[in-house]
Structures are given as C-alpha cells and as structure tokens.
Amino acid sequence: MIKVRTVVIAVLLAVGVSPAAWAQKPLELRVSRVVDLTIPIESNMPGIPGIKIYADNPSKVDVVAAISEAQKAQLAAEGMTLNSNIAVTGRSMISVLSILVHNGTHIDAPRHMLDKGAPIDAMPIGQLVKEGAIINLPGKGPNSVVTVRDIEESRVALGPDRIPIIHTGFTEKTWGKPEFWTQMPYLEAGVGALLASKGVPAVALDVFPEKPLWRGVKLDPGEVWVANHLALFEKGIPLIQFVTNVSQIGANKFVLVALPLKIKGGDASPARVVALVE
C-alpha cells in the first residue's frame, strides 16, 4: 500500500485540436493506490492467429549480456530468452527488445489506419492522462459482442474530460491462453462512432475493436471491417488496447495514465498503462 498523498494533475492542452474539446482544469486527486493495467512484455507473446505479419515478427526480449554465470543460469531458469552469443561481462545485464507494436497493451495512433493520420509521437499526452470512467460489462463472455446499446445503457457519463474503459474482464482472465484470440469478445460496428460523437479524448478496452475475421466472423453486406478504428481516428482519438486488471480499480475516482514510447513517425506503441486511484 502506498502512502496516501495529494497530487494535482494539470492535463496539458492538446496540440492542434480545439481548446474547448481537450482543455481540462487541474484535477486534485488523493492517490491511495496505483493499479498496473499493463500486460507484461516477454518473448513469443501471442499475436492474432493466421495473420502472417504477426507470425513473421514474434516478440523477443533477447538477453545479450549477463553479469555472471550465476545470473545467466537464473535468467534461463526464469524462462528468459538468452542470445546464442550471450556475453558474461562481469559488469551488467543487457537486453535487446523486438516487438510488433500492436501486440500486448498498446496505443494505436490515427496513422495506423489513416494515410495522413497523426503518428504516435505527435499524440498530445494530455489526451492520454485523464480521469477514467469504467464501462463495466461483466455479462460479456466468450464470443460475445459489445453493442452500441450496451454503451448507452451503461449510463456512464462520456465527454472530453474522461477516458472510457470498456471492461469485460476477458483480457484479465485469458491472456496467454488459446481462448484469448479464439473466443475474444469484440465491438459492434458503430461503437467507435458513438464514442467519437461524445468527444472522448481516448478509448481503452479489454476486447477487440472489430469483428474477429480470423475466426470466421463475417462482415454484413457493405460493412467496413475497421469502422470503429476509423470513426475514432478521424477525430484524432487514440485506442488504448488490451488493458488488464481493471477489476482491481474499484469504485473510487481515478486517473488513467497511458504513456506510449515516443516512436518517431510510428503508427502505434507498446504502453505502460496505470490507474491512480483515490
């Protein structure tokens, strides 16, 4: 348990968007807990099945140097990936990270789907540090659909000062298991447009944003597969995907902090996402 302390979070005005849309007064919050909402990065994280780009680019945390033979043995016992030419330096451990930026907990920038969309390094941090609002949907189990009606009936207040988190608990329960991809719930086309119409600064979720075509779910005639992505990105709204441990936040007020790496020109980034809970 961390010591209760009062912090004042002054969320920056977003660059390049209307001040009326993104301005926020400083938010005073007595932080009693920090909840980590991030999936750990490791070698061979599961990617979308049947998609060649994921198969050809597995994640890898490659240890290229260890301090000692004892540390090297310890890392091997922990299941770390040891480079075939690992050096024992007597001084330091060094690793090399390779990851497809859409795996694990990550943030999609508009450039992911739009030719002229903003890259991840240009996303205003003020959009990604805001009060959070959980849309709890505990009844959404394997293969279920999160609908526009579900969002509306949650009666969660949505607007430019709050980041909604669509929470089913599925990522928390199934990450690392085969059913994570084979049974994952997903958003109905139209959810993105609804959230964009509310002017939310970002959207976080623990389900897939579109229909999972890789497991045989079909598009309706005339339906655009990435409609939710496009509806959000066209308004400059980033997607914070595959958050976990949302159930640990509880009912208290909290600030969501979702920080991407500043990858120059990037379409997305792995992210450390936490909730600062009052």
In tens, the pLDDT along 219-242 reads 999 999 999 999 999 999 999 999
Same domain (yes/no): 41, 19: yes
Phi and psi at 177, nearest 5°, equal: -105, 155
Does 52 fall in a domain?
Answer: no
Same domain (yes/no): 39, 170: yes
- Report the domain count for the chain: 2
Contact 129, 121 (CB under 8 A): no
Pairing of strands 268-277, 145-146: unpaired
Same domain (yes/no): 91, 112: no
pLDDT at 52 exceeding the cut of 80: yes
Does 173 fall in a domain?
Answer: yes
Instruction: Please count the helices (runs of H) and the strands (runs of E) in the chain.
Output: 8, 15
Same domain (yes/no): 37, 73: no
pLDDT digits (tens, 9 = 90+) for 179-222: 999 999 999 999 999 999 999 999 999 999 999 999 999 999 99
Distances in whole angstroms, Cα of residue 40 to Cα of each of 36, 43, 108, 121, 124: 10, 10, 18, 22, 25
Same domain (yes/no): 74, 118: no
Specify the pLDDT at position 21. 46
Same domain (yes/no): 106, 27: yes
Does 215 fall in a domain?
Answer: yes
Which single residue is written with the structure tokens 């991407």?
260
> What band does 30 get if pLDDT is binned at 50, 70 and 90?
confident
* Residue 258: alpha-carbon gap to chain centroid: 8
Does 94 fall in a domain?
Answer: yes
The one-character DSSP state at 277 is E
> What band does 24 get if pLDDT is binned at 50, 70 and 90?
low
Contacts of 45 (CB under 8 A, 6+ apart): 39, 58, 59, 99, 103, 104
Does 54 fall in a domain?
Answer: no
Same domain (yes/no): 217, 148: yes
Same domain (yes/no): 74, 206: no
> What band does 5 get if pLDDT is binned at 50, 70 and 90?
low
Tokens of 227: 């409609």
Same domain (yes/no): 92, 189: no
pLDDT digits (tens, 9 = 90+) for 103-150: 999 999 999 999 999 999 999 999 999 999 999 999 999 999 999 999
Same domain (yes/no): 75, 117: no
pLDDT at 13 exceeding the cut of 60: no
Higher pLDDT: 6 or 197? It is: 197
Tokens of 53: 């780009």
CATH number at residue 186: 3.50.30.50
Same domain (yes/no): 191, 153: yes
Same domain (yes/no): 144, 238: yes
Residue whose C-alpha is closest to residue 166's, from 215, 104, 239, 235: 239
Percent of the chain with pLDDT over 90: 89
Computed over every residue of the chain, the mean pLDDT equals 92
* Residue 238: alpha-carbon gap to chain centroid: 10
Does 19 fall in a domain?
Answer: yes
Does 55 fall in a domain?
Answer: no
Residue range(s) defining the domain that contains residue 79: 60-98
Domain endpoint, select from 98, 126, 159: 98
The one-character DSSP state at 208 is B
Burial of 85 (0-12, 13-18, 19+ CB in 10 A): exposed
pTM: 0.90
